[in-house]
């Protein structure tokens, strides 16, 4: 059984304050076997400490043990009493229970942590959501206001529109009214004019009558002699025959004019028909030959037959030179059809070109225009680059060939100078490093000499100390239980020290940095748990090593501390 020491495990979160504070943990203090000690944080250790100690005191220890036993059994743990009745405690079971409780505690802590994490997360999520909500509310407000504004504007525009419509209607009405006014005035004027004209006519008639009645002799024609007619013919009487002849002549004139016009139109028509036929032939020739695959689509077959029909018809027409309505229509229809086919064909070609693939006809031979262009561009670029390279090469060659010997030597000299300078730099660096190494070596050798001297001194000391120790050991052998193991331990430790001491000798020569570690290694075992004697040794060793270690302030401090503790 070891010493009982209560080390309180503090409560980590505020929740667990509700838990009864009897989650104290008892830790058996290990003897010098255990080298590790758990150090747990103790925030409210003082209160808990008093409280924990309140739970179990010297008087009610039996009650408490039984209470704990009950609690544990209710929780499902095995009893802490030994098998046999009585007050003997089953240590193992206690330890197991404690272990189980620890595990449980850990689990609970972890769960608590998780819960707290989640709680934090949720809290931040909540904050985030609240922010979002606030922003969205703001946005909603803004958009509502905007909507209101837009609606207002819309209303205004609509009212304006209505006003404009109204004004337009008004204008139209006005225009209509004015037109009506004008027409009414015009009719009025016409009526007045007619009235006046009739009056005027009456006057004219009157005047005419007067003039005619006067039978003025002055109205006469005096001619010296009759003039022959221009065309030499005699004058003719007015008879019906002449009238008929007149009519005839008039109609002749008209007819001749119409005939002339008709001839002109016929000529025009013939020309235009020729042109149309020519066009039709051209269109047919432009279209791709469809006779190769007549079975592919039935439409084409129909078209073919139509074509043939048309051609036949028109040829017939040529021969007979009919120009009746149906033939004309046929011609125009056929031309329209051909034109549409041509258009479709051209469109298809365009699509083909843009897509870059050809149809079922030729796949390998036809390269799409775009690829072709890209290739040509690439090739051109390559050509340009090659040309440029060639030019630069030529220039360089020229330079090399045409430049003087002096310049070449100078150039070479330049290169050499550069190299020399670089080499000098490196030499310098090298020399510096060499110096440093020399210094270090010197210091090492000195340290080694010193170490040797110290070792000698230490050996002597050791010898004397061992003698003393053996003497003292035999003196107090019954005082403590620990002495024997401690003696063993001490002897072991001595051996360790020797080993450790041998090591530093080797190590110190090699590198300076490890010197720092050594005292710490030595001083580690020189902690409170060790006995005084090792401390003494350490001290001595430390002291002996003092002058050797220039750059070991830690050791200084510790050795000072140790001296003080002593």
Partner 1 sequence: ASCMQHRLLVRDARSLHILQLYTCLDQIQYIEWSSDSLFILCAMYKRGIVQVWSLEQPDWHCKIDEGSAGLVASCWSPDGRHILNTTEFHLRITVWSLCTKSVSYIKYPKACQQGVAFTKDGRYMAVAERRDCKDFISIFVCSNWQLLRHFDTETQDLFGIEWAPNGCVLAAWDTCLEYKVLLYSLDGRLLSSYRAYEWPLGVKSIAWSPSSQFLAIGSFDEKVRILNHVTWKKITELDHPATIASKKTIVYKEVEKSPTVETERLSFPPTRALASSLFSTQSKYDISQVPVSLQYIKPVADRANPKVGVGMLAFSADNCFLATKNDNIPNAVWIWDMRKLKLSVVLEQLCSIQCFQWDPCQPRLAVCTGSSRVYLWSPAGCMVVQVPGEGDFQIVSLSWHPSGNSMVLLSKDNFCVCYLEREEV
Contacts with partner 1, residue ranges (CB under 8 A) = 179, 182, 186, 190, 193-194, 197-198, 201, 204, 207-208, 211, 214, 216, 218-231, 235-236, 238, 242-243, 246-247, 249-251, 253-254, 257
- The least CB distance from residue 194 to partner 1, in Å, is 5
Please state, in angstroms and rounded to a whole number, the distance separating the CA atoms of residues 201 and 198.
Answer: 5
**Between residues 201 and 511, which has the closer beta carbon with respect to partner 1?**
201
**Between residues 111 and 211, which has the closer beta carbon with respect to partner 1?**
211
For residue 83, the SS3 value is: coil
Please state, in angstroms and rounded to a whole number, the distance separating the CA atoms of residues 477 and 493.
Answer: 19
**Between residues 227 and 506, which has the closer beta carbon with respect to partner 1?**
227
- The least CB distance from residue 171 to partner 1, in Å, is 17
Please state, in angstroms and rounded to a whole number, the distance separating the CA atoms of residues 523 and 555.
Answer: 8
Which residues does 11 contact at the CB level (< 8 Å), separation at least 6?
A: 17, 19, 21, 23, 44, 48
**Between residues 145 and 198, which has the closer beta carbon with respect to partner 1?**
198
Contact status, residue 276 vs residue 337, Cβ threshold 8 Å? no
**Between residues 242 and 436, which has the closer beta carbon with respect to partner 1?**
242
Question: Residue 458's closest CA among 555, 564, 539?
Answer: 539
- The least CB distance from residue 329 to partner 1, in Å, is 21
Question: Residue 75's closest CA among 109, 42, 98?
Answer: 98
- The least CB distance from residue 174 to partner 1, in Å, is 15
- The least CB distance from residue 388 to partner 1, in Å, is 47
For 29, the token pair is 């203090």
**Between residues 38 and 224, which has the closer beta carbon with respect to partner 1?**
224
- The least CB distance from residue 223 to partner 1, in Å, is 5
**Between residues 198 and 297, which has the closer beta carbon with respect to partner 1?**
198
**Between residues 246 and 315, which has the closer beta carbon with respect to partner 1?**
246
- The least CB distance from residue 226 to partner 1, in Å, is 6
**With 0-12 CB in 10 A as exposed, 13-18 as middle and 19+ as buried, what is 559?**
buried
* First CA to last CA distance, the chain: 31
**With 0-12 CB in 10 A as exposed, 13-18 as middle and 19+ as buried, what is 392?**
exposed
Please state, in angstroms and rounded to a whole number, the distance separating the CA atoms of residues 29 and 11.
Answer: 22
**Between residues 117 and 255, which has the closer beta carbon with respect to partner 1?**
255
- The least CB distance from residue 172 to partner 1, in Å, is 16
Give 253-256's long-range contacts (Cβ < 8 A, gap of 24+). Answer: none
The helix (run of H) or strand (run of E) holding residue 42 is none
**Between residues 227 and 319, which has the closer beta carbon with respect to partner 1?**
227
**Between residues 223 and 471, which has the closer beta carbon with respect to partner 1?**
223
- The least CB distance from residue 368 to partner 1, in Å, is 42
**Between residues 225 and 527, which has the closer beta carbon with respect to partner 1?**
225
Please state, in angstroms and rounded to a whole number, the distance separating the CA atoms of residues 104 and 99.
Answer: 8
**Between residues 208 and 372, which has the closer beta carbon with respect to partner 1?**
208
Q: What is the DSSP letter of 89?
A: B
For 523, the token pair is 């001083």
Sign of CA dihedral 508, 510, 512, 518: negative
Give, in order, the Cα–Cα distances in Å from 354 to each of 348, 364, 417: 10, 17, 64
- The least CB distance from residue 369 to partner 1, in Å, is 37
Which residues does 432 contact at the CB level (< 8 Å), separation at least 6?
A: none
Please state, in angstroms and rounded to a whole number, the distance separating the CA atoms of residues 335 and 337.
Answer: 5
Question: Residue 479's closest CA among 526, 531, 527, 528?
Answer: 531
For residue 29, the SS3 value is: coil
Which residues does 514 contact at the CB level (< 8 Å), separation at least 6?
A: 507, 508
């Amino acid at each position: 059984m070891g010493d009982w020491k209560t080390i309180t495990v503090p409560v980590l979160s505020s929740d667990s304050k509700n838990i009864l504070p009897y989650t104290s943990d008892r830790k058996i203090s290990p003897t010098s076997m255990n080298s590790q000690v758990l150090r747990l944080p103790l925030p409210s250790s003082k209160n808990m400490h008093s409280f924990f100690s309140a739970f179990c005191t010297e008087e009610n220890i039996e009650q408490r043990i039984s209470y704990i036993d009950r609690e544990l059994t209710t929780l499902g743990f095995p009893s802490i009493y030994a098998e046999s009745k009585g007050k003997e405690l089953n240590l193992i079971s206690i330890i197991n229970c404690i272990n189980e409780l620890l595990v449980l505690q850990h689990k609970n802590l972890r769960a608590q942590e998780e819960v707290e994490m989640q709680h934090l997360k949720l809290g931040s999520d909540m904050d985030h959501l609240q922010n979002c909500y606030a922003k969205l509310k703001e946005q909603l407000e803004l958009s509502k206001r905007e909507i209101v504004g837009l609606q207002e504007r819309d209303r205004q525009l609509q009212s304006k529109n209505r006003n404009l419509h109204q004004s337009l209607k008004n204008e139209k009405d006005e225009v209509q009214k004015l037109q009506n006014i004008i027409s009414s005035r015009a009719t009025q004027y016409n009526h007045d004019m007619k009235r006046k004209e009739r009056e005027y006519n009456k006057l004219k008639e009157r005047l005419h009558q007067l003039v005619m009645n006067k039978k003025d002799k002055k109205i006469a024609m005096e001619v010296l002699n009759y003039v022959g007619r221009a065309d030499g013919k005699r004058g003719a009487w007015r008879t019906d025959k002449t009238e008929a002849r007149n009519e005839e002549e008039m109609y002749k004139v008209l007819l001749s004019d119409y005939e002339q016009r008709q001839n002109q139109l016929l000529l025009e028509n013939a020309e235009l028909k020729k042109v149309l036929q020519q066009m039709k032939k051209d269109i047919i020739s432009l279209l791709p030959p469809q006779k190769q695959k007549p079975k592919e689509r039935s439409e084409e077959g129909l078209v073919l037959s139509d074509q043939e029909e048309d051609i036949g018809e028109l040829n017939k027409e040529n021969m007979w030179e009919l120009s009746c309505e149906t033939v004309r229509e046929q011609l125009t229809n056929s031309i329209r059809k051909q034109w549409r086919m041509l258009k479709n064909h051209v469109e298809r070609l365009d699509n083909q070109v843009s897509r870059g693939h050809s149809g079922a006809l030729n796949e390998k031979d036809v390269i799409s225009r775009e690829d072709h262009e890209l290739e040509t561009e690439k090739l051109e670029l390559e050509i340009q680059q090659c040309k440029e390279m060639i030019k630069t090469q030529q220039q360089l060659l020229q330079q090399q060939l045409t430049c003087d010997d002096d310049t070449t030597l100078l150039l070479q000299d330049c290169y050499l100078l550069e190299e020399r300078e670089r080499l000098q730099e490196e030499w310098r660096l090298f020399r510096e490093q060499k110096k440093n190494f020399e210094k270090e070596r010197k210091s090492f050798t000195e340290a080694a000499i010193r170490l040797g001297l110290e070792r000698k001194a230490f050996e002597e000391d050791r010898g004397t100390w061992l003698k003393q120790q053996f003497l003292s050991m035999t003196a107090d052998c019954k005082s403590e239980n620990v002495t024997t193991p401690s003696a063993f331990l001490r002897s072991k430790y001595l051996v360790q020290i020797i080993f450790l001491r041998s090591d530093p000798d080797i190590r110190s020569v090699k590198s300076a940095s490890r010197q720092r570690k050594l005292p710490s290694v030595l001083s580690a075992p020189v902690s409170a748990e060790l006995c005084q004697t090792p401390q003494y040794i350490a001290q001595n060793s430390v002291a002996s090593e003092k002058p050797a270690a220039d750059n070991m302030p830690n050791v200084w401090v510790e050795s000072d501390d140790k001296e003080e503790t002593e």
